[in-house]
Amino acid sequence: MPAPVRPGGRRGWDPLVRLTHWTIALAILVNGALLRDGTVAHVWIGYAALSALILRLLWGLIAPGPAALAEMPLAPSRALAHLRDLVAWRWHDSPGHTPLGAWMAVAIWSLLAVTAVTGLVLEADPFPDDDTHHAWSDYRYDHDDDEEDEDDDAHETGGAGAEVAEDLHEAAATGLLILAALHVAGVGLESRLSGVNLAKGMIFNRRERTKR
């Protein structure tokens, strides 16, 4: 006899998680891969990503259910068990983050924080026509196509601190792109393994089973 009740879909991520997730995803993609330099758009997208991160972490303190930071399965033993499951091609149902997924989120949030803060150090002014901006950013706006000279410019006008900030900014940004690629691969793998299209849970209110 078939189940009398329609097998219902699973609850997806809440709207705030989805909004902040895609804001950050888009920001990493655009700022990391398309707009490499300190253009005004780059600065604005950076602010949007930073506020999405702050909002997500704040929401993590208040949110009910799997969006709560306290609900994230961060115990190392669980991550190891999850890794063993993946190797053995087994799958355990989890309503929110998977153990490795939770660590991925923490890693991306941390690198995003580093990228955003160093970005603020490098160029905090979202309105460059203002009279408070730094001489160094002026220079950058005129010469942003000239990658080779950047390090020298920073050294000349921004000092060693700015140079360190810039190196950190670029390293963290590269790390974010790598983590984002790993994250997409991980979601694909888990979806394949579980038969649940996990990406749908990040787009729609609920995720349905794609196969039994």
The nearest distance, CB 37 to another protein, in angstroms, is: 21
Cβ proximity to another protein, 39 vs 191, nearer residue: 39
Cβ proximity to another protein, 44 vs 91, nearer residue: 44
Supply the DSSP symbol for 209.
B
Which two three-digit tokens encode residue 140?
């950058």
The nearest distance, CB 14 to another protein, in angstroms, is: 6
Cβ proximity to another protein, 86 vs 113, nearer residue: 113
For residue 185, give the amino acid letter. Answer: A
The nearest distance, CB 96 to another protein, in angstroms, is: 13
The nearest distance, CB 122 to another protein, in angstroms, is: 14
Cβ proximity to another protein, 123 vs 190, nearer residue: 123
Report the alpha-carbon distance of residue 27 to residue 29 in Å, rounded.
5
Helix/strand/coil for 207: strand
Cβ proximity to another protein, 64 vs 76, nearer residue: 64
Residue-wise burial string across 83-97, b where 16 or more C-beta atoms lie within 10 A, e elsewhere: eebbeeeebeebebb
Q: Choose among 27, 79, 71, 74: nearest CA to 52.
A: 27
By the criterion CB under 8 A, which residues form the site for another protein?
Answer: 1-2, 4-5, 8, 11, 14-16, 18-20, 23, 47-48, 50-52, 54-55, 58-59, 62-65, 120, 124, 126, 132, 205
Length, in residues, of the chain = 212
The nearest distance, CB 141 to another protein, in angstroms, is: 19
Cβ proximity to another protein, 205 vs 210, nearer residue: 205
The nearest distance, CB 83 to another protein, in angstroms, is: 31
For residue 114, give the amino acid letter. Answer: V
Q: CA geometry: angle at 15 spanning 14 and 21, to 5°?
A: 95
Helix boundaries (H) for the chain? 15-29, 40-62, 76-87, 99-122, 135-142, 150-153, 159-194, 198-203
